[in-house]
Amino acid sequence: MGKATGFLEYERANGEVIAEAQRIQNFKEFHERLSFEEQKKQAARCMDCGVPFCQAGAMLAGMMSGCPLHNLVPELNDLVYRGCMEQAYDRLSMTHSFPEFTSRVCPALCEAACTCGLHTEPVSTKENEKAVIEYAFEHGLVKEEVPAVRTGKKVAVIGSGPSGLATAQLLNRRGHEVTVYERSDRVGGLLRYGIPNMKLDKSVIDRRVKMMEEAGVHFVTGANIGTDEAEIKKLKKNFDAIVLACGASHPRDINAPGRDANGIFFAVDFLSKVTKQLLDSDFKQVPYELAKDKNVIVIGGGDTGNDCVGTSIRLGAKSVTQLEMMPKPSEIRLPSNSWPEWPRVLKVDYGQEESIYKFGQDPRIYQTTVKEFVKDEAGNLKAVTIVSLESKKDEKTGRMQMVPVEGTEKIVPAELVLIAAGFLGSEQYVTDAFGVEVDQRTNVKSEPGKHRTSVKGVYTAGDMHIGQSLVVRAIAEGRAAAREVDEDLMGYTNL
């Protein structure tokens, strides 16, 4: 696979990243692509390792290792190395629904499990994937299949995020009539309103959705399914199967004194508001009023927290501080975190890079949380009291917990707080409306490895099923759910 000595001859090279000073002036994507010849060299680094952990998609130590879609990575890299881009696209599309999404927002689980990365830099599979899919779009190779024969079966997909779109794509290709319901005003779910435009330009979503519509998928926006009992009965009557792909959209809150102050938002609501105004105005109106000249506190250290940092900087924030409850990760992989497990090491993402450029320091403060939100006389947020945390064993449960350290309280100015502390699971009004069982985490329950819910004819996929996770896992979930639905409807499946 690739060039036998490629990993010895070529060093890893990534496409150019637009400098912080320029990219924080707008909401455009800022990762450039390599030249075709340079991309071939990068693909040549795939080392014929014999055991491609990159495509395993296995859970190790509670974390995903390798691609959950089981993309045949060595074969893909080999085709890119040889310049066979059309065949590379054919190979990729056999296992992947939307490479244009993951090649922009995936943390590259394949690269983290790359054998080449054990002793040197991993193969740049993510950029190779982006080169393939964009080449395919540019040369008219991407086509949503219009089924020659319709089965007469109708399927409703509730939610148009990555899992819902993947489910709809495959079921439509099979010949079923698919209708996707989305409660927002635009299709895309998490892809549309949970991920900022500079990470995933929304025209990329529109490009794919248009093709799916032309292939026969019906999209209904502004449909908040679950709020009307009569609507649920109508869906169950009119459709042969229903797939719940509504995401893990119940955000975790911070219940501290002063929580009712004006100026505190859940991260996803803040990011949605920014993206919606940009899209509504065709990027002519930037909602600077949300953060300009404000001291911003972001509570949470994951991808969403990082997106809030980058977005706040683009909106002209006076300062940005990011609070993380857990200790600072090691800068190198520890023996307890052996390869090919996902590396639990310190990562400096684009938002932190921009904060370092803009304010001269990493915005993150570790082992810290908010103890109190401080309001002014008008009820507006003016400051937060933060407190340091330490790890202690809970005497009742025996588990280690992060608890406040007495005497470490500090008051810091803040006019805007963004809560990016993760999600607790599916929203109750949806699961109640369909009568499906949920587990302790409020994820929709199914048999292990299956997608059938406790209600006949109702299935589930994505974060609503497995909890908050990655776009690539959501796509894998959607594809698996589609196969299960198809098999139940037809008695067999060829998906």
Rounded to the nearest 10 degrees, how much is the dihedral formed by the CA atoms of 255, 261, 267, 269?
A: 120
DSSP 8-state class, residue 194: I
Q: Which residue, of 138, 173, 197, is where some domain finishes?
A: 138
Helix, strand, coil percent values for the chain (each to nearest 5): 35, 20, 45
- Taking CA 178 as the corner, what is the angle to CA 171 and CA 165, rounded to the nearest 5 degrees? 65
Rg value, the chain, Cα: 23
What CA–CA distance (Å, rounded) separates 68 from 59?
Answer: 9
Q: Helix, strand, or coil here: 292?
A: coil
Q: How many residues does the chain have?
A: 495
CA distance 453 to 435: 9
Residue 393: strand pairing partners: 400
Q: Do 430 and 391 belong together in one domain?
A: no
Average pLDDT of the chain?
96
Whole-number pLDDT of residue 397: 83
Q: Are 416 and 298 in contact (CB under 8 A)?
A: no
Q: What is the pLDDT along the chain (495 residues), one digit of tens a residue?
A: 678 899 999 999 999 999 999 999 999 999 999 999 999 999 999 988 989 999 999 999 999 999 999 999 999 999 999 999 999 999 999 999 999 999 999 999 999 999 999 889 999 999 999 999 999 999 999 999 899 999 999 999 999 999 999 999 999 999 999 999 999 999 999 999 999 999 999 999 999 999 999 999 999 999 999 999 999 999 999 999 999 999 998 899 999 999 999 999 999 999 999 999 999 999 999 999 999 999 999 999 899 999 999 999 999 999 999 999 999 999 999 999 999 999 999 999 999 999 999 999 999 999 999 999 999 999 999 999 999 999 998 888 888 899 999 999 999 999 999 999 999 889 999 999 999 999 999 999 999 999 999 999 999 999 999 999 999 999 999 999 999 999 999 999 999
> What span, in angstroms and rounded, lies between the C-alpha atoms of 141 and 119?
37
Q: Which two tokens stand for residue 127?
A: 């950029």
Q: What is the CATH number of the domain that holds 391?
A: 3.50.50.60
Q: How many domains does the chain have?
A: 3
Q: Give a yes or no: residue 202 inside a domain.
A: yes
**How far apart, in whole angstroms, are the C-alpha atoms of residue 469 and residue 426?**
13
Bridge-based pairing of strands 241-244 and 264-266 is unpaired
Clarify whether residues 447 and 469 are in a common domain.
Answer: yes
DSSP summary character for residue 327: P
Q: Is residue 495, in this structure, part of any structural domain at all?
A: no
Q: Is-contact 242 259, C-beta < 8 A?
A: no
Residues 411, 440 within the same domain: no
**Pair 271, 415 in one domain:** yes
Q: Which domain holds residue 167?
A: 154-249+424-490
Contact 379, 409 (CB under 8 A): no
Looking at 77, 103, 138, which one is the last position of a domain?
138
Distance CA 83, CA 264 (A): 51
| 10 and 116 together in one domain | yes
CA distance 357 to 361: 7
Distance CA 139, CA 154 (A): 33
Look-up of token digits 């995933």:
200
Element (H, E) at 60: strand 58-60
Q: Would residue 319 count as lying in a domain?
A: yes
pLDDT for position 256: 96
How confident is the model at residue 1, as a pLDDT? 67
164 and 118 part of one domain: no
204 shares a domain with 299: no
Q: Give the CA dihedral 370, 372, 378, 383, nearest 10 degrees.
A: -50
On whether the CB atoms of residues 434 and 137 are closer than 8 A, the answer is no
Same domain, 30 and 56: yes
Q: Considering the domain boundaries, does residue 324 fall inside one?
A: yes
Residue 143 lies in a domain: no
230 lies in a domain? yes
Residues 294 and 413 in one domain: yes
Q: Are residues 283 and 378 in the same domain?
A: yes
Domain boundary among 419, 445, 464: 419
Q: What CATH code is carried by the domain that includes residue 18?
A: 1.10.1060.10
* Same domain? 269 vs 397: yes
| Residues 122, 115: Cα–Cα separation, whole Å | 7
Q: Does residue 21 lie in a domain region?
A: yes
Are residues 410 and 271 located together in one domain of the fold? yes
pLDDT value at position 47?
87
Could you read off the pLDDT of 10-55 as tens digits, one per residue?
999 999 999 999 999 999 999 999 999 999 999 999 988 989 999 9
Please indicate, yes or no, if residue 255 is contained in any of the structural domains: no
> Position of tokens 């520890």?
334
Q: Where are the beta strands (DSSP E) in 241-358?
A: 241-244, 264-266, 295-299, 319-324
Distance CA 442, CA 27 (A): 35
pLDDT, tens digit (0-9, with 9 covering 90-100), for 285-335: 999 999 999 999 999 989 999 999 999 999 999 999 999 999 999 999 999
Q: Name the β-bridge partners of 59.
A: 64
Q: Please give the full DSSP string across 3-54, using - where no structure is assigned.
A: -TTHHHH-------B--HHHHTTS-S--BPPPPHHHHHHHHHT----SS-GG
Helices (H), 401-470: 428-434, 463-466
pLDDT at 50: 87
Residue type, 91: R
Which residues neighbour 493 within 8 Å (Cβ) at sequence distance 6 or greater?
174, 483, 484, 486, 487
